[in-house]
Amino acid sequence: MTASLPAKPAPRLALVDLATLLMVIGVLNGLVAPSDPGWLALNPTPYLLVPVLLGLRYGFYAGLAAGAAAAAAILLSRHLAQPAEPWLEDVLSHRFVLISLPVTGVIVGQLAESLRRRRLELATSNAELRQQNRALDAERELLLISRHDLQLRLGLHGADCASLDEELHAMARTSREFGPAQLLAALERLAHLRGAAIYRRPAGPADGWQRAALLGDPAMFPATLKPDDHRLVGEALETGQFLAQKSLWDSPPVREPGYLAAYPMATPEDTFLLLVQDLPFRNLSLETFSVVRALCDWFRFFTVAPLDAVTGHRAVSQHDFFRALETAVSTHAAQAVPSALVRVPFATPAGIDPLDAFKELLDALPRSALLTTAIENGERTLMALLPAEPDPGAAESFRSAFEAFNARLGISPKAKPRFHQTRPDESPHQLWGRLVAS
């Protein structure tokens, strides 16, 4: 598909326009300045309008011809008004004016044709980009429809149709008090856990950890847990790592009495403990526990108190932001689910309140976004981590939101947002270096 501009008027119309302009200017010349045929006393002469207008409308050759015709009309009018004056001397005395008429027509006509060609090129390019954009939108829509159809087919066959990115976004939209229950529900769908519980460490001095959420038989998980009663739990809390029974990796695997796995989750505001008691034998693998760890790692940040109760977005310290960055890199490497990072300078001009612009930015970002501020090389910046954003089209909408944020605050257009995506072969320190590099 190519764009087309309106065609130039027919050459015969140029003759009509030329004759009309010469007649109008000649009549005005006779009425206003009858003693100055050709209107040469004015600088520039109104006859200059003839090559300018025709050059703009019809192009190079019309401008040249119109300039020559205007020069000829001036000489003819002066000869008819002053027949006694030598013709050659009159030409020489006004040679610069007479030469400037066709030259002006040539310049204006050439510029007009160049602008017309450039406009046609831009219109053609715009049409091609629009066509490509429609094709990409159609392909993306087809992918979404195919994904929905596949999920329906998997559901009909009794297969698991949940995905890690969907579970993470659902967990981010859950309120803090229901966060542990949402995490267990996601673990049940993705990792097929049949018996698990989440405990919360009490804020003050108390005897044991309190159960916050339960999946399975309540008899297996006491309301108050004493870590010293379970060797696996005590070791997990001491090391702060995900621990599972070593006998599970024997061949054939052997299960000892007690819990299968334990994972302490230290959030910026609290500490939780996941205990796994029952898991189908066919799902007993490193891949299953990798999914469990990924969900628990993100849960640590989704329990942070939101900035605003309406938007639900969360702000963390720079240290916790880097920990979330490590989680994003490990999730990409283990589960092939990328995350996006954004860095935008936040030097607001004096006298401008950034509150309204900041609220508009939050409205455009998903609730799973984590925000922080940093100062690098003396420059204050706003950073955002968008976990589990596999859709490439989402990056463009985020880019538009941050550019609108800059424009609303009057930040220099040179301070454009910087976007990066996690890479499976890139360490968190390398990604952080790319993000904050000047």
Query: pLDDT of 23-54, one tens digit each?
Result: 888 888 888 888 888 888 787 888 888 888 88
Average pLDDT, the chain: 79
Q: Which residues contact 241 (CB under 8 A, 6 or more apart)?
A: 263
Q: Are 37 and 81 in contact (CB under 8 A)?
A: yes
Q: Is the peptide bond before 252 cis (omega within 30 degrees of 0)?
A: yes
So what's the pLDDT on residue 253? 59
Of all residues in the chain, what percent carry a pLDDT higher than 90?
A: 4
List every span in the chain annotated with CATH 3.30.450.40.
Answer: 164-299
Query: pLDDT of 93-128, one tens digit each?
Result: 778 888 888 898 889 888 988 888 899 999 999 999
What sign does the CA torsion over 352, 385, 167, 188 have?
A: negative
Q: What tokens appear for 74 in the block? A: 């001036």
Statement: residue 188 has pLDDT above 80: yes
> Which helix or strand (DSSP H or E) is residue 183 part of?
helix 179-191
Report whether CATH 3.40.50.1220 matches the domain 314-436.
no
Which among 106, 109, 99, 54 is positioned nearest to 74, based on CA atoms?
A: 99
Statement: residue 312 has pLDDT above 70: no
Query: Once rounded to an integer, what is the mean pLDDT over residues 384-398?
Result: 71
Helices 49-58 and 60-81, axial angle in degrees (round to 10) = 160
Q: Bridge partners of 261? A: 244, 276
Percent helix, strand and coil across the chain, each to the nearest 5: 55, 15, 30
Query: pLDDT of 347-390, one tens digit each?
Result: 666 666 667 777 777 777 777 788 888 777 667 788 888 887 76
Q: Which residues contact 390 (CB under 8 A, 6 or more apart)?
A: 165, 337, 338
> Which helix or strand (DSSP H or E) is residue 21 part of?
helix 11-32
Of all residues in the chain, what percent carry a pLDDT higher than 70?
A: 82
Model confidence, pTM: 0.57
Which range, of 191-205, 219-233, 371-385, averages the lowest pLDDT?
371-385
So what's the pLDDT on residue 198? 92
- Pairing status of strand 379-386 against strand 340-345: antiparallel
Query: pLDDT of 272-284, one tens digit each?
Result: 999 988 887 777 7
So what's the pLDDT on residue 142? 80
So what's the pLDDT on residue 199? 92
Query: pLDDT of 124-163, one tens digit each?
Result: 999 999 999 888 888 887 877 777 666 655 554 444 545 7
**Which stretches within 230-317 are classed as H helix?**
231-239, 286-302
So what's the pLDDT on residue 1? 46
List every span in the chain annotated with CATH 3.30.70.2880.
Answer: 314-436
The three-state secondary structure class of 72 is: helix
What CATH number matches the domain at 164-299, 3.10.20.30, 2.10.10.90, 3.40.630.10, 3.30.450.40? 3.30.450.40
What is the 8-class DSSP label of residue 384? E
The three-state secondary structure class of 234 is: helix
What's the pLDDT band for 412 if we cut at 50, 70, 90? low
What is the 8-class DSSP label of residue 305? P
CA 259 to chain centre: 45
So what's the pLDDT on residue 252? 57
Statement: residue 391 has pLDDT above 60: yes
So what's the pLDDT on residue 250? 58
Q: Are 360 and 304 in contact (CB under 8 A)?
A: no
